[in-house]
Amino acid sequence: MVDPISLEVFKNLFISVSEEMGVALQRTAYSPNIKERRDFACALFSPQGQMVAQAAHVPVHLGAMPASVKAAIDSFTGSLRPGDVVILNDPYLGGTHLPDITLVAPVYVTEDGQRRLAGFISNRGHHADVGGMTPGSLPLSTELYQEGTIIPPLKLARSGRLNQEVVQLICRNSRTPDERKGDLAAQFASIRVGERRLEEIVARYNLETTLEHMEALLDYSERLTRAAISRIPDGSYHYMDYMDDDGLTDQPVPIAVTIIVDGDEMAVDFTGTSPERPGCINAPLAVTVSAVLYMVHCIVGMDVPPSQGCLRPVSIVAPHASLINPEPQRGVAGGNVETSQRVTDVLLAAMSQALPELIPAASQGSMNNLLIGGHDLTRDKPFVYYETIAGGMGARPTKDGVSGIHTHMTNTMNTPIEALEFVYPMRLQRYALRNGSGGAGKFSGGDGLVRDVEFLTRARVTILSERRRFAPYGLHGGHHGERGENVLFRSGYEEVKLSGKEVLDVEPGDVLSIRTPGGGGWGDPASAHVEKGDSVP
C-alpha cells in the first residue's frame, strides 16, 4: 500500500516533469505556432507505456499520445537504448494528423550496477508545414499521401547522437525548412529536460519507490473514475449530431454514440456513425479514444489525476472503416481538428441526459483552422501561417459561457497581432468579439470572434472549419449559438461567401473574415429574468 501523502507528492512530481518539458519546448521553439500558440503537449509514461502524468496542454494530443508511445515501443522491442529518441507522425500508428510530430524516449537509470528502465517521456508538436498539396499540410485531400511527409517510427537519435539525415529529410519536404529544424531541435531539448527530471526523481527516492507510485497513481485514477461513474444513473444514453460536410461533397456526416452506464463501468458505442468519407475529415482511432478520455476527465473532475487509469473502466466500440476508425490510408487532416470536436459534442450531449445539472451546452464545435502560405517578397523567402481561431463556449448549468476562447479538444492560444504582423506578410484589420453570437438561455452561450486578415502578398489559403451549417446546440430550452461564417473581400470590397472547407488563392489587398460560432445557451431564456430579480416580460 502506498501512503496517500506520498502519492500526492509523486503525482505532482510526475506532472512537474511534463510541465517543465513544455516550458523548455515553448521557450526554444522557432515557429509562432509552438512558441506563441502553444500547439504542443508533453507527458510521462510508465515502463509499460501507460500514461502516468501530463501537463495541461492540448487534449487531442495527450489522449492520442499513448498509442504513439506503444507504436514506438513495439517497433523497437528490446532495442531502445539510453539516449535513443524515436520520431513518428503516422496517424495509423498512434498519430493524429501529419503536422503533429511525436518524439518518444526511454529513460534508463543505473542502480546497484544494473541499468533499468524508469519510464518513457514524450512530446508532440504541431509543425506548421510538413509538405503535401497545400501550405500548412491540412489540405482538402482524398488520401493520406497528399497531406505531407509520413514518418513511421524511426530513431531520431541513437545513444544521444542526433540522426541529421532524418532531420534533413523532414526539412527538405517542408516549405519552411528552417522552422522545422528549429522546432525539432526544441522538441529534442524538451526530451532531454524530461530525462533529467525523471532521473532526479529516481535518484532521490530510488527506482522501486518511483515505479511503485506510478502503478499506484494509475490504480488511484481508476478507482476515482469508477466511483464517479457509479454516481451516474445506470442506463443507455444516445445522441446523434452532424458534421457540415467532408469538404468534397455537401452531404451531412452523422456521428452517433450510445453510452451505456452499468455500475462503475461505461461502454461507449459509436455504431451508427457515418462510414469513412472520401474527404479529409476521417478521425484515426487514437483521436476518437482521445475524445472519450477527455469526456471522462470532464465528468470525473479535476481531483482525479489525468492518467491512462481513467480509461480502465471504459470500453469503446468504434466500427471499422467508419469516420471515427478509418482504414489506412484515408485522409485525416481534418479529423484531428474538426471531427474530434464534433465527437466531443456528441459525447457530452449524450451524457447531458444522465447529468443535466453538470453538462454545458455545445461550444463552438470547430477549431476554425486557417492556413496561409506563399512567398514573402520583403524577406524573399517562403512562409506558412497556421492558426486555430477561438469561439464561444457553451453556457454552463450555473454560469454563462465564456466568449472568445478555445474549447474542448484544443487548448491553444491565439497568435498575438504583434507577432503575426512581425513574422508574416499580413495585417490584421479587425479582431473582436462577435457580439450576440452566443445562444440565449437562462445562462447565455459565449460569443464567437471576428478575425479579419488583409494579405500583403499573393498566397494560397486553406480553411477547415465546422458549424457553418449545423449550429451549436443549446440544452434544456437554451437557444442554439450562431453558426460561423467565412467571407472574402476581393480588393477589400467585393464580398464572396466561402464554404466551411475551402482552398483559394488571394491577392494583395484581399481581406479574409473568419467569423466563429457562438456557444449554445443553457435553460429557458425567460428564467434568466427571474434569476436576476427582473420582472418577466
Alpha-carbon distance 334 to 409, whole Å? 13
| CA quadruple 102, 331, 366, 465: dihedral, nearest 10 | 130
The helix (run of H) or strand (run of E) holding residue 498 is strand 494-498
Question: What is the per-residue pLDDT across 353-379, written as a single tens digit (0 to 9) for each?
Answer: 999 999 999 999 999 999 999 999 999
Contact between 254 and 274 (Cβ < 8 Å): yes
Look at residue 282 and give its three-state secondary structure.
Answer: coil
On the question of a cis peptide bond just before residue 329, with omega within 30 degrees of 0, the verdict is yes
Count Cα atoms within 13 angstroms, Cβ side, for 312: 19
Residue 337 has pLDDT above 70, yes or no: yes
Alpha-carbon distance 453 to 462, whole Å? 13
CA neighbor of 142 nearest in space, from 326, 317, 363: 326
pLDDT category of residue 334 using cuts at 50, 70 and 90: very high
Report DSSP letters for 363-398, one per residue. Answer: ------EEEEEEEETTTTEEEEEEEE--BPPPPPSS
Residue 455 has pLDDT above 70, yes or no: yes
Alpha-carbon distance 200 to 462, whole Å? 45
pLDDT category of residue 537 using cuts at 50, 70 and 90: very low
Burial environment of residue 320 by CB neighbours within 10 A (0 to 12, 13 to 18, 19 or more): exposed
DSSP letter, residue 271: T
Q: What is the mean pLDDT of residues 411-422?
A: 90
The helix (run of H) or strand (run of E) holding residue 286 is helix 285-300
For the chain, what are the domain ranges?
Answer: 4-220, 360-537
Alpha-carbon distance 488 to 465, whole Å? 15
Backbone angles phi, psi at 243, to 5 degrees: -80, 150
What does the pLDDT read at residue 529? 54
Q: What average pLDDT does the chain have?
A: 94
Backbone angles phi, psi at 121, to 5 degrees: -125, 155
Angle at 329 between CA 342 and CA 155, to 5 degrees: 100
What does the pLDDT read at residue 171? 97
Contact between 492 and 509 (Cβ < 8 Å): yes
Q: What is the mean pLDDT of residues 200-220?
A: 96
Contact between 283 and 336 (Cβ < 8 Å): yes
Question: What is the per-residue pLDDT across 21-50, written as a single tens digit (0 to 9) for each?
Answer: 999 999 999 999 999 988 999 999 999 999
Alpha-carbon distance 215 to 1, whole Å? 11
What does the pLDDT read at residue 412? 86
Kindly provide the b/e burial profile for residues 143-170, where b requires at least 16 CB atoms within 10 angstroms of the residue's own CB: ebebbbbbbebbbbbeeeeeeeebbeeb
> At 208, which amino acid appears?
E
What does the pLDDT read at residue 533? 44
What does the pLDDT read at residue 78? 84
Q: Can you list the alpha helix ranges (DSSP code H) found in 38-114? A: 59-75
What does the pLDDT read at residue 534? 44
Q: What is the mean pLDDT of residues 394-405?
A: 96
Look at residue 437 and give its three-state secondary structure.
Answer: coil
Look at residue 100 and give its three-state secondary structure.
Answer: strand
What does the pLDDT read at residue 536? 35
The share of the chain scoring above pLDDT 70, in percent, equals 98
Residue 286 vs residue 529, higher pLDDT:
286
Alpha-carbon distance 503 to 505, whole Å? 7
- What pTM, to 2 d.p., does this model score? 0.94
Residue 164 has pLDDT above 60, yes or no: yes
The residues, any chain, with a CB within 8 Å of residue 35's CB and separated by 6 or more, are 26, 27, 29
What does the pLDDT read at residue 165? 96
Sign of CA dihedral 275, 278, 283, 284: positive
Backbone angles phi, psi at 119, to 5 degrees: 150, -170
